[in-house]
Structure 1
Amino acid sequence: MKQISVKFCGFRTKDDVKTAVSHAVSAIGFILVPDRKRTISLLQLTSMIPLIPKQIEKVGVFQNPTLEEVNNAASLGLSMVQLHGQETPAFCQQIKKNKQIPIIKVFSEKEIQKIPLYEGYIDVVLLDHSAGGTGTTIDWSCIPVAKQLTERLQLPLWIAGGLNESNIENLIRDYEIDGIDLSSGIETNGKKDTQKMNKIIERMKQHDKIEQ
């Protein structure tokens, strides 16, 4: 069985990025949505991107951006773009045409039936709350429906929303998913927590051993 992708998101300091890199996570995300508690500037992004090796995806998270905003950030070394708003299939197509960069598109539980509209324009489906970064779980009962659609479209299905060391085992045991995405689940008092990152990675390593 293939390994489940692990994305840690919402990084704001070089030290936290270095910690995530040491665990060889699949992807590291940076919030480029204005006025969020984990938002960073393009200058900060420029200082952290070089710390991440080529094999780890560097993801810029946007919400209803302009094409220019995506292009400017992507030119700094992002390897993936995550769209967390009401971006249309046509907008995703424009990004592909301009930058040819892989796209993670976020869908809430109420938007799952829209997934097929994005066929050919996105590369990963991520289920999360429409707001994102809330620290609350989504309704996992919607996962099987989403999985049917993503399998038909041959797209990976990632899950976010309130994931932490205490519930990821149940998630990956009960549902056939391709990736997990954590932000608040690897934080304590709003700051990245090395111990929590360690525990998540250790749990995923144990899962991979069992599945081999």
Structure 2
Amino acid sequence: MKFCGFKTIEEVEFASTLPIQAIGFILVPNRKRTVSLEQLAYLLPIIPDSIWRVGVFQNPSLEEVGNAVSLGLSMVQLHGQESPAFCKQVKESWQIPIIKVFSETQLQEIPSYKDVMDIVLLDHASGGKGELIDWSYIPQAKRVTESLHLPLWIAGGLNESNIDNLYSNYELDGVDLSSGIESNGRKDNQKMIKLVERMKKHDKVEW
């Protein structure tokens, strides 16, 4: 489970106490959850080594990725039209795992990234706007990722009210939430707790 879109010390401190796999930061310019490199520099040290520190990029330059990785990221998430060659450059330059994002209509592209990514994340094409993906594509995506021996994570409009339905109907390796753990545009501690409790029910976390 990855919680994403953090901006404040208080939010990161609380999320770091939860049994989640990853905490993400938006490094795409001009988004409502975007953080600067200066903010990233004081937020990353709060997170224990047991939790992945993920930087989320969209069509970045290698320099932009490197500047953020140097601050202490432990994983890179690429959310744009980054090519397999670019992903390979990132992976080899910094020896860092990569989450590559695909929409439902891009499933045929996944195999070409096999050797340059570590996690496949299926998200809505709008990306970051809290819109649900079409879940009917999940079985096809799962067949593809299983054939490549890669984990499949799901994002897009997930929250406390639909996570049970998702896990009751599909076999997944992880989920990524941002708007689903917010109230009035801020991270909501109680929503984060409830999501972890839901995941515990499905034996996805230990708490």
2:86 maps to amino acid: F
Q: CA deviation at 1:173?
A: 1.1
Q: Equivalent residue for 1:9?
A: 4
Q: Equivalent residue for 1:196?
A: 191
Deviations 1:44-79 (A, max 9, x none): 001011110001000000000001111110111000
Structure 2 Cα separation of the partners of residues 90 and 16 of structure 1: 35
Matched position secondary structure for 2:164: helix
Alpha-carbon RMSD = 1.2
Structure 1 Cα separation of the partners of residues 72 and 201 of structure 2: 32
Structure 2 Cα separation of the partners of residues 70 and 153 of structure 1: 26
Structure 2 Cα separation of the partners of residues 167 and 113 of structure 1: 27
Cα contact 1:81–1:101 (8 A) shared by 2:
yes
TM-score (norm 1): 0.95
Q: Equivalent residue for 1:3?
A: none
Q: Equivalent residue for 1:53?
A: 48
Deviations 1:61-100 (A, max 9, x none): 0000001111110111000000000000000011112111
Pairs aligned (count): 205
TM-score (norm 2): 0.97
2:201 maps to amino acid: Q
Q: How does 1:115-194 map to 2 (within 5 A)?
A: 115-194=110-189
Q: Equivalent residue for 2:98?
A: 103
Q: Specify which of 69, 91, 115 is matched with residue 64 of structure 2.
A: 69
Structure 2 Cα separation of the partners of residues 97 and 194 of structure 1: 37
Q: CA deviation at 1:117?
A: 0.6
Structure 1 Cα separation of the partners of residues 53 and 44 of structure 2: 7
Deviations 1:102-140 (A, max 9, x none): 000000011011000101000000000233121121000
Structure 1: 5+ residue stretches without partners: 1-5
